[in-house]
């Protein structure tokens, strides 16, 4: 019998996921920045959103904003690659320069603790399981979840850019 233990934290800074290069990285490194955490995949209909995510990163990074990409193979086997293959794919096809992390599970019994926290954290939008690749979690400068966006919300949509700008100005 397996028991899923929910992690109870006030912010995301206690998490230490492994980055795409295999190094444990404390999210505390991003303290004071607005973050957009995204579960990504290389073989998905939403994969072209990497381009928009990179543009957001370029537009707002000097203002204290970062996109954090977390590849996941939970939906339709759309992220079959190794970390090395994913890193190369993102760089070659989309020029990704924002921080990417090692492939994780974003739902189910092996769900990464960060995504357990993000899918259950209170926010004005919705809680619960991630439905598909490229869901987005907007994190405040204090490390708390401000908003959640489903996969169909484009990175450069007014809805998302307005929320980012509002968070940066708080």
pLDDT digits (tens, 9 = 90+) for 2-17: 444 555 677 999 999 9
Q: Is 42 helix (H, G, I), strand (E, B) or coil?
A: coil
Q: How far apart are CA 49 and CA 67, in angstroms?
A: 12
Q: What is the pLDDT of residue 10?
A: 79
Residues assigned a catalytic role: 44
Token code pair at residue 160: 């998302």
Q: What is the dihedral of CA 30, 19, 138, 96, to 10 degrees?
A: 100
Q: How far apart are CA 168 and CA 62, in angstroms?
A: 11
Q: Is 38 helix (H, G, I), strand (E, B) or coil?
A: strand
Report the percentage of the chain scoring pLDDT > 70.
95
Domain boundaries, the chain: 13-168
Nearest to 120 by CA among 41, 21, 8, 3: 8
The DSSP element (H or E) to which 163 belongs, if any, is helix 158-168
Residue-wise pLDDT tens digits, 46-94? 999 999 999 999 999 999 999 999 999 999 999 999 999 999 999 999 9
Question: CA-based angle 11:15:16, to the nearest 5?
Answer: 155
Q: What is the pLDDT of residue 9?
A: 75
Class for the domain spanning 13-168:
alpha beta
Token code pair at residue 54: 């990179």
Mean pLDDT across 102-122: 95
**Is residue 134 predicted with pLDDT exceeding 80?**
yes
Question: Would you place residue 104 in the very low, low, confident or very high pLDDT band (cuts 50, 70, 90)?
Answer: very high
Q: How far apart are CA 2 and CA 151, in angstroms?
A: 30
């Amino acid at each position: 019998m397996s028991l899923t233990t929910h992690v109870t934290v006030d912010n995301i800074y206690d998490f230490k996921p492994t980055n795409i290069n295999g190094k444990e990285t404390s999210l505390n490194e991003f303290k004071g920045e607005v973050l957009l955490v995204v579960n990504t995949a290389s073989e998905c209909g939403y994969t072209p959103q990497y381009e928009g995510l990179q543009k957001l990163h370029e537009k707002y990074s000097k203002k204290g904003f970062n996109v954090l990409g977390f590849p996941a193979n939970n939906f339709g086997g759309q992220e079959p690659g190794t970390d090395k293959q994913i890193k190369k794919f993102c760089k070659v096809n989309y020029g990704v320069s924002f921080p990417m992390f090692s492939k994780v599970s974003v739902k189910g019994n092996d769900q990464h603790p960060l995504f357990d926290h993000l899918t259950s954290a209170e926010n004005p939008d919705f809680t619960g399981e991630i439905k598909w690749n490229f869901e987005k979690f907007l994190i405040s400068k204090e490390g708390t979840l401000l908003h959640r966006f489903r996969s169909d919300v484009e990175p450069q949509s007014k809805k998302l850019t307005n929320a980012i700008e509002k968070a940066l100005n708080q």
